[in-house]
């Protein structure tokens, strides 16, 4: 056995290399034949060599040493316990009581006060104590008031036109306007002419119909495009609008930028995505003035191909794909997206890329004392200080690997205790360490009033509450804005598996525009126009696809005559035939609702229109009929128009 191998007692599961392990005497099951044999066995056991130290045992010893060093640095005076005891009422302990009250303003936790024995580490700790002093008292501060206006900008003031903004299309056109559609038309025709000799140029109406069809794909996803035109398994809402030949030609020619890559630099890895993204960012920002609280976070877009900008983040729900930086509000409205080109060591004037990215995205909203909420991937002391220079506040968690005041980070905290310190130069800034009933968190904030007060936090799925610092409440109040935006964009997703990265981005941009349009419709349109009928994003997407397609048709021949609804949609189970196994397929409704395909319901039940609809959940059949009825009514109108033309 090697040096890194373990020695085990069979049945105990304990290692001899464990410092806490104590070897027990083995009892022989067979009786000893003589005293000499027992003596020899005891002698051999006493001379048994101990196994060599392994890296695992050395690590445990090191962890114990680190723990003991931290405990040695803790302030021995437990002011929280003293204030709760009877000694605080004794007049003889007046000076001790004053010291306990002074320490209590920094939180119930006990801060680290002793310096390290290492000179280099001790110098850093002295600098922390100078910048974040705890030998005095907290200077009372309150964040500046927010006086800027929020809501629809002049570009979107057309919400006042109640007759126009009653349906989803006007809201969607605020983002996918004529400039965006014109860019897609131009570059799609360029690619189409280079691929096909008999290419027929497409126009804005064709591209809008294509986007509407992409939205329909989100409701009934298929493994391959030809499935929608299958004689038996095909789907009328697609094949009655497009011929397979015309649709596939435009689909494989769709592009947003056909220019050559400017250079081999890392910043030009996604050069063909930036023009469209710049137009969308302009439209996002020009439509709505943000409220005070904004959220900065990462967004992952699933991608299965190979690319220089490919990113892997194991902690995200989407672990592999492209990464975007997203700026959104608590309602899920996206104001700006920024591409992440992948791992790169470039710096702009010595400034880290993450810090520069945040400053670039929020600079347009500076000077109005907005609050930017960030997670541990962005929050640093240098960034918070730079945001203060542009009159912007911040609150966020800090990565344990990044710089943080040592006496706050190493504070002794029991469950539901915290400790914080105030910056000497920037009185608005506070550094807080908080331990709840599960984990320990560290916060940097310039948006929290000081001295910090205690609040009661109640988890979403719990009836109990626990004490916490006010900075934790400030962070939890808005930290999920980007997650809500991602959920809205994924609820009616148009995403399909591609080896073309620009198609992956285009589908995601359509999802974002549709989600933003829904937020405007639900938050502002419903307030100005009472009685708007659409209640869900799913219904909003279906009606939007109908409006985008309109009366467009790209078929070489007339469509089939419509079949009565009662005949076209009947729920049935295929008859059992001996020796023949009925194949199971994913329920089309369960699959559209489930984020994880492992939990999809497979069934042999079918609808006469050709799709699989399970019988385990009665809501699936109702939802299928509701969605199919919308398209059947439109198909009947198309058939009547065809008959009139004949």
- Same domain for 426 and 331: yes
Give 221's contacts (C-beta < 8 A, 6+ positions apart).
496, 591, 592
- Same domain for 539 and 455: no
Distance in angstroms (rounded) separating the CA atoms of residues 477 and 488: 19
Residue the block writes with tokens 């001996």:
578
Contact present, 541 and 494 (Cβ < 8 Å): no
CA dihedral for 185, 188, 193, 197, sign (positive or negative): negative
Distance in angstroms (rounded) separating the CA atoms of residues 523 and 478: 17
Give the chain's length. 646
Contact present, 119 and 419 (Cβ < 8 Å): no
Please name which of 623, 520, 584, 581 lies closest in space to residue 171, comparing C-alpha atoms. 520
- Residue 559, in any domain of the structure: no
- Same domain for 338 and 224: no
Strand partners, 8: 15
pLDDT classification of 513: cutoffs 50, 70, 90: very high
Structure tokens at 322: 């492209």
Tell me which range, 19-28, 43-52, 214-223, 434-443, is most confidently predicted by mean pLDDT.
Answer: 434-443
Which DSSP state fits 249? H
Please name which of 604, 15, 500 lies closest in space to residue 258, comparing C-alpha atoms. 500
Give 360's contacts (C-beta < 8 A, 6+ positions apart).
338
pLDDT tens-digit readout, 580-597: 778 888 888 887 776 555
Distance in angstroms (rounded) separating the CA atoms of residues 91 and 153: 64
Give 6's contacts (C-beta < 8 A, 6+ positions apart).
15, 16, 17, 54
Contact present, 515 and 489 (Cβ < 8 Å): yes
- Residue 401, in any domain of the structure: yes
Please name which of 449, 294, 504 lies closest in space to residue 378, comparing C-alpha atoms. 294
- Same domain for 431 and 309: yes
Q: What is the pLDDT of residue 317?
A: 84
- Residue 629, in any domain of the structure: yes
> Which of 130, 151, 179 marks a domain boundary?
130
Contact present, 174 and 164 (Cβ < 8 Å): no
Which CA distances in Å does 137 have to 33, 76, 127, 512? 79, 20, 18, 48
Q: Which residue has the higher pLDDT, 635 or 621?
A: 621
Indicate whether 447 pLDDT > 80.
yes
> Which of 461, 484, 507 marks a domain boundary?
484
List of E strands, 362-501: 371-374, 393-397, 417-422, 430-435, 440-445, 454-457, 466-469
Q: What is the pLDDT of residue 48?
A: 52
Residue the block writes with tokens 């680190």:
66
Structure tokens at 488: 């809205």
- Same domain for 470 and 338: yes
Determine phi and psi for 381, rounding to 5 degrees.
-65, -40
Determine phi and psi for 486, rounding to 5 degrees.
-65, -35
Indicate whether 35 pLDDT > 90.
no
Please name which of 350, 328, 362, 292 lies closest in space to residue 147, comparing C-alpha atoms. 292
Q: Is the peptide bond before 451 cis (omega within 30 degrees of 0)?
A: yes
- Residue 61, in any domain of the structure: yes
- Same domain for 401 and 443: yes
| Mean pLDDT lowest among 453-462, 495-504, 572-581, 604-613 | 572-581
Indicate whether 163 pLDDT > 70.
no
- Same domain for 431 and 480: yes
Residue 308, SS3 per DSSP: coil
- Same domain for 220 and 274: no
Distance in angstroms (rounded) separating the CA atoms of residues 1 and 138: 60
| Mean pLDDT lowest among 79-93, 133-147, 196-210, 616-630 | 616-630
Residue 435, SS3 per DSSP: strand
User: Measured between alpha carbons, how far apart are the two ends of the chain, in Å?
Assistant: 87
Residue 410 belongs to domain spanning? 266-484
Angle (nearest 5°) at CA 364 between 514 and 374 = 70
Indicate whether 214 pLDDT > 50.
yes
The DSSP annotation for 555-623 comes to -SSPPPPPPPHHHH--EE-PPPBTTBPPPPEE-HHHHHH-SSGGGPPEES-EETTS-B--SS-HHHHHH
Residue 238, SS3 per DSSP: helix
Structure tokens at 205: 């109406």
Domain count, the chain: 4
- Same domain for 279 and 213: no
| Mean pLDDT lowest among 37-41, 91-95, 134-138 | 37-41
The DSSP H or E segment spanning 471 is helix 470-478
Helix (H), strand (E) counts: the chain: 22, 17
Q: What is the CATH number of the domain that holds 451?
A: 3.90.350
| Mean pLDDT lowest among 60-74, 117-131, 362-376 | 60-74
pTM, whole model, 2 decimals? Answer: 0.74
Give 611's contacts (C-beta < 8 A, 6+ positions apart).
220, 233, 235, 588, 624
- Same domain for 480 and 338: yes
> Which of 102, 130, 158 marks a domain boundary?
130
Q: What is the pLDDT of residue 76?
A: 73
Please name which of 633, 622, 640 lies closest in space to residue 543, comparing C-alpha atoms. 633
- Residue 34, in any domain of the structure: no
Which DSSP state fits 110? B
- Residue 159, in any domain of the structure: no
Contact present, 322 and 301 (Cβ < 8 Å): yes
- Residue 511, in any domain of the structure: yes
Distance in angstroms (rounded) separating the CA atoms of residues 482 and 330: 8
- Same domain for 270 and 256: no
- Same domain for 321 and 224: no
Mean pLDDT of 617-632: 73
Please name which of 392, 356, 401, 391 lies closest in space to residue 373, comparing C-alpha atoms. 392
10 Å CB burial of residue 160 (0-12, 13-18, 19+) is exposed
Mean pLDDT of 311-328: 88
- Residue 328, in any domain of the structure: yes
């Amino acid at each position: 056995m090697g040096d890194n191998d373990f020695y085990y007692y069979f049945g105990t599961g304990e290692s001899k290399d464990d410092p806490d392990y104590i070897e027990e005497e083995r009892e022989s099951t067979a009786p000893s034949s003589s005293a000499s044999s027992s003596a020899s066995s005891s002698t051999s056991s006493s001379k048994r060599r101990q196994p060599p130290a392994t890296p695992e045992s050395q690590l445990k010893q090191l962890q114990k040493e680190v723990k003991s060093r931290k405990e040695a640095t803790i302030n021995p005076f437990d002011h929280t316990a003293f204030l709760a005891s009877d000694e605080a009422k004794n007049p003889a302990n007046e000076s001790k009581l004053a010291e306990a009250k002074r320490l209590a303003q920094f939180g119930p936790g006990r801060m680290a006060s002793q310096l390290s024995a290492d000179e280099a580490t001790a110098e850093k700790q002295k600098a922390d104590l100078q910048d974040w002093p705890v030998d005095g008292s907290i200077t009372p501060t309150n964040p500046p008031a927010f006086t800027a206006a929020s809501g629809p900008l002049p570009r979107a003031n057309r919400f006042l036109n109640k007759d126009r903004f009653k349906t989803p299309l006007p809201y969607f056109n605020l983002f996918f306007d004529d400039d965006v559609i014109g860019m897609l038309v131009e570059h799609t025709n360029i690619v189409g002419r280079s691929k096909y000799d008999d290419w027929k140029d497409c126009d804005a109406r064709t591209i809008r119909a294509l986007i509407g069809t992409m939205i329909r794909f989100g409701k009934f996803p298929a493994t391959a495009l030809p499935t929608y035109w299958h004689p038996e398994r095909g789907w009328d809402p697609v094949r009655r609008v497009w011929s397979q030949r015309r649709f596939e030609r435009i689909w494989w020619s769709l592009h947003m930028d056909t220019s050559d890559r400017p250079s081999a630099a890392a910043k030009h890895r996604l050069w063909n995505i930036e023009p469209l993204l710049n137009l969308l960012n302009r439209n996002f920002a020009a439509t709505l003035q943000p409220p005070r609280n904004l959220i900065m976070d990462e967004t992952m877009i699933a991608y299965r191909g190979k690319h220089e900008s490919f990113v892997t983040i194991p902690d995200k729900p989407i672990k592999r794909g492209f990464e975007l930086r997203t700026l959104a509000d608590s309602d899920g409205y996206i104001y700006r997206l920024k591409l992440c080109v992948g791992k790169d060591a470039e710096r702009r004037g010595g400034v880290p890329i993450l810090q520069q990215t945040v400053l670039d995205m929020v600079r347009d909203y500076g000077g109005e004392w907005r609050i930017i909420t960030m997670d541990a991937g962005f929050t640093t002391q240098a960034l918070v200080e730079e945001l203060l220079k542009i009159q912007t506040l911040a609150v966020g968690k800090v990565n344990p690997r990044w710089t943080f005041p040592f006496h706050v980070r190493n504070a002794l905290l029991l469950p539901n205790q915290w400790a914080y310190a105030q910056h000497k130069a920037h009185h608005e800034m506070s550094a807080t360490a908080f331990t709840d009933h599960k984990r320990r968190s560290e916060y940097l904030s310039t948006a929290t009033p000081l001295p910090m007060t205690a609040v009661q936090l109640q988890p979403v799925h719990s009836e109990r509450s626990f004490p916490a610092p006010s900075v934790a409440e400030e962070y939890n109040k808005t930290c999920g804005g980007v997650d809500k935006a991602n959920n809205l964009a994924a609820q009616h997703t148009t995403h399909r598996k591609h080896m073309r990265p620009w198609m992956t981005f285009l589908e995601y941009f359509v999802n974002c525009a549709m989600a933003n349009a829904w937020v405007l419709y639900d938050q502002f349109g419903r307030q100005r126009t009472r009685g708007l009928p659409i209640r869900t994003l799913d219904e909003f997407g279906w009606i939007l696809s109908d409006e985008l397609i309109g009366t467009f048709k790209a078929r070489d021949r007339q469509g089939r005559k419509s079949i009565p609804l009662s005949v076209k949609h009947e729920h049935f189970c295929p008859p059992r035939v001996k020796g023949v196994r009925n194949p199971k397929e994913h329920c089309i409704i369960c699959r559209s609702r489930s984020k994880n395909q492992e939990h999809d319901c497979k069934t042999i039940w079918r609808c006469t229109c050709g799709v699989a609809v399970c019988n385990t959940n009665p809501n699936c059949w109702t939802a299928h009929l509701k969605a199919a009825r919308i398209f059947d009514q439109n198909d009947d109108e198309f058939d009547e128009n065809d008959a009139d033309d004949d």
